[in-house]
Structure 1
Amino acid sequence: MTISFSNFLGQVITNPGLAITVFLTLGVIFVNGWTDAPNAIATTVTTRTMRPKTAIVMSAIFNFFGVLIMTQINSSVASTISNMVDFGSDSRHAMIALSAALFSIVVYSVGASYFGIPTSESHSLIAGLTGAAIAMQNGLKGVNGTEWIKVIYGLFLSLFLGFVLGWLVCKLVILICRNFERKRTNKYISYAQILGSAAMSFMHGAQDGQKFIGVLLLGIAFANGHSDLVNTFIPIWLMMICSTVMGVGTSVGGEKIIKAVGMDMVKLEKYQGFASDLAGALCILISTLTGVPISTTHTKTSAIMGVGAVRRLSSINLSVVKDMMLTWVFTFPGCGIISYIMAKIFMAFF
C-alpha cells in the first residue's frame, strides 16, 4: 500500500476516524518530544556544558534528523510496533480501538510528566496498543507473541546493556585520560559531551520516531479498509511530519525531567556525562538496527547508574532509582488497563 500526501490530507478531511487518530498520534509524538527527549540532554545541562535553551534547540534538531535519516536506513522498529497487535478484520472498529489506545497514552504520559517523573513513552505506547487489542479481540489472541517478546528483549537491553556500557565507557575514558592535565582534558571532554548529547538525541528520534510512524501507518491502513500493513512503504512526507512534531515538542523543554535524570539520581562530572551519553546512544543504536523497541529513558538512566557505579555504588541516589522503577513497572498494567477501558467505551459509543 502506498499513499501520497494529497490523498492522505483528503482522507483526514473526509474521515473523522482517521482525523482523530492522526491528531492523537501527533499529540503523543509531541508529548514524547517534550518528556522523553530531555533525557538526551540532561547530563549536558547539569554539568553546565551547555545552557538549557541551547541544549534544547540542539536536541530538537538532532531528534528531527534521527527520525528522518534512520527510518530510511532501517525501519524495523516501525514494523515491530505495527505487527505487535491484531485489531481484527473490521477496520472501522480497529480505528476506534486505535484512537482509544492513543488517548490513553496521552492521559498517562501527561499525568506522569506533571509530577516530574521520567516516563517511558515506549512502554506507554506498547501497553496502550496491547490493552486496546485485547479489548477488541476479547482476549490475548489480539497480541502477537512473536513480536511482543521483543519488548522483553528491549527491557534487557536498556537495563543490563545500558548499565554495562555506561560502566565500560566510563572506565575507558578514565584509562585514556589518566595521565592528562585535568583542566585541558575538561575542555575537550566538554566538546565530546556535546557530541554525545547530539548522538543521544539523534538516536532518540530514530528509535521513538519509528514507533509512532508505525502507529500512523496502522491508522492509514485502517482508513483504507486494510487490517494489516503487508506491502506498505513508509513515505518521506510521513517521516517529515513525525520528525517535525517531535522536534517542536522537544523545543518546549522539560526542566523537571532534566533535573530528575541529570541531578537527582547521581552527581555527574563532565567525563561521566559524556560516558553516559555515548553508552546510551550505542545501546539505542543496537536495538534500533535489530528492530527491538527500547525505552530511551530506561537506557539513559541505566547508563548513568553504570557510570556512577565506576566510582562507588553509594554515589547513586537509590530512592530516585526506586521511584523510577516503580513508575516503569506500573506503566504496562496502568496504561494497558486505561486503554482497555477506553477502547470498550469508544466502541460502545462510536
Structure 2
Amino acid sequence: MLELLPLLAFLLIAFSIGSNDTSNAFGICIGCRIISVRKAAILLFLLVLIGLNLQGSRVMKTVGENLVETNVAISAMALMISALIVVFTNIRGIPVSTHQVIVGSLSGAGIAFGTQLSFKTLAEIVISWILSPLIAGILAILLLISIERVSRKLGVLEFEKFLRILLLCSGMLIAYNMGANELATAIAPFMATKKDLGLISVLGAVSISLGALALSRRISETLCRGITSIDPKTGFSAHFGAGICVYIFTLFGMPVSTTYALIGGISSVGLVKSARTVNFKKIQEVVANWVFAPLIAFSLAFTASKVYFGI
C-alpha cells in the first residue's frame, strides 16, 4: 500500500496543477474567446507531454537528485502534503506555486527522515524564485513597448487578428513550460523509486487535463481581474514575458513558478499603463503566499512524517 501512495499523491497534484495553472496558459485566451475550455485542455495535454519529454529531465534532476535524497516514504508524504495544500488554496481562489509547495514538502519530509539536504541547491532555487517575477516583468514591459510600435503600423482589424494569434502562441509556450518545469518538479521524487517514468508522465498529463476542465475558472479570475485590467496587448506581453522567463530557468534546471512569473508580468505592464489599475492589496496577498506557502509545506511535511512514521 505504501508504494501506491506516491502515485496516488502525484495524480492528485497533477490534477491540482491543471486546475491551478491552466489559467496561466490559456486563461486570457479563454476569456477573450480565442479558444474554448475543452480545446485548451486537449492542447494542454499535448504540450505538457512534449515539454516534459524534451526538456523536463533538467528540473527533475535538480529536485529529485540534487536537492534531497528521496525514498518511497519521503515521496509519498511530500507529494500528498503538496497536493492537499494546492487543492485547498485553489478552491479558495488563491494563486500558489506548486514548485514552492513541493520543494518545501520534500525538504521537510527529507529532514524528518534524516536525509542529506543540499542547502546550496535550495539557495539556488530560492534565488530563482526571487528573480523570475522580476525578469518576467522586465520582459513583459519590453514586449509591450514593441507590440505598441507594431500596432501603429497595422490596421485595427489586422492587428487584432495578429495579436490573437500571438496570444494563443504565448499560451502554448506556457503550456509547454508546464510540462518541462511544473510537471517535471512533481515527477522528480519518483526518480528514487525506479518506477516507469514514461507511464507516470502520461498519467500526469491526463490528470492535468482533467484538472483543467474541473477547477480552472476561479484562479483565472484572480489572475486576470484581481491584479489589474487585461486587454489583448498587455495580456500577450505578460504571457509571453512569463513564458520566455520560465523557459530560460528551465534550461538551467531551476523549478520556477509560472504563476508568479505571470503575476510579475501582469503587474509590470499594469504599472506601465497606470499605477491606478494595479491592485496593490492583491499583490501583497500574492507576496504573502509566496513567503508562507513553502514554510507551511515544510512544517506540515516534517510534522506529518514524524507523527505518521513514528520517527
Q: 1:58-207, aligned counterparts within 5 Å? A: 58-71=43-56, 75-87=57-69, 94-137=71-114, 142-207=116-181
Match of 1:231 in 2: none
Bigger shift: 46-55 or 24-33?
Answer: 46-55
Find the residue that maps to 2:193 and give its secondary structure. helix
Q: 1:1-350, aligned counterparts within 5 Å? A: 16-71=1-56, 75-87=57-69, 94-137=71-114, 142-220=116-194, 235-348=197-310
Q: CA contact under 8 A between 2:18 and 2:216: conserved in structure 1?
A: no
Render the CA deviation track for 1:259-288: whole Å, top value 9, x for unaligned.
Answer: 001122111111211111111110111011
Render the CA deviation track for 1:77-106: whole Å, top value 9, x for unaligned.
Answer: 100001244458xxxxx4223322222112
Q: CA contact under 8 A between 1:97 and 1:346: conserved in structure 2?
A: no
Q: Output the amino acid matched with 2:237.
A: A
Bigger shift: 171-180 or 118-127?
Answer: 171-180
Render the CA deviation track for 1:181-229: whole Å, top value 9, x for unaligned.
Answer: 22321121112111111111111221112112211222338xxxxxxxx
Q: Output the amino acid matched with 1:339.
A: A
**Equivalent-residue separation in structure 2 for 1:179 and 1:85 (angstroms):** 50
Change in 2 beyond 3 A, CA 1:47/1:179: same
Normalising by structure 1, report the TM-score: 0.82
Q: CA contact under 8 A between 2:59 and 2:180: conserved in structure 1?
A: no
Unpaired runs of 5+ in structure 1? 1-15, 89-93, 222-233
Render the CA deviation track for 1:152-203: whole Å, top value 9, x for unaligned.
Answer: 2321332210111111111111122223222321121112111111111111
**Equivalent-residue separation in structure 1 for 2:187 and 2:14 (angstroms):** 9
**Equivalent-residue separation in structure 1 for 2:45 and 2:271 (angstroms):** 30
Change in 2 beyond 3 A, CA 1:47/1:56: same
Match of 1:6 in 2: none
**Equivalent-residue separation in structure 1 for 2:25 and 2:236 (angstroms):** 11
What is the CA distance between 1:146 and its match in structure 2? 2.1
**Equivalent-residue separation in structure 2 for 1:66 and 1:86 (angstroms):** 24
Segments of 4+ in structure 1 off by > 6 A? none
Q: CA contact under 8 A between 2:74 and 2:113: conserved in structure 1?
A: yes
**Equivalent-residue separation in structure 2 for 1:252 and 1:174 (angstroms):** 36
Which protein is bigger by CA-based radius of gyration?
Answer: 1
What is the CA distance between 1:291 and its match in structure 2? 0.6
**Equivalent-residue separation in structure 2 for 1:67 and 1:251 (angstroms):** 21
Unpaired runs of 5+ in structure 2? none
Aligned residues: 311
Cα RMSD (Å) of the superposition? Answer: 2.1
Q: CA contact under 8 A between 1:87 and 1:136: conserved in structure 2?
A: no
Find the residue that maps to 1:294 and give its secondary structure. coil
Q: Output the amino acid matched with 2:93.
A: G
* Identity value in percent: 18
Find the residue that maps to 2:153 and give its secondary structure. coil
Normalising by structure 2, report the TM-score: 0.92
Q: Output the amino acid matched with 1:174.
A: E
Q: Output the amino acid matched with 1:280.
A: A
Change in 2 beyond 3 A, CA 1:236/1:87: closer
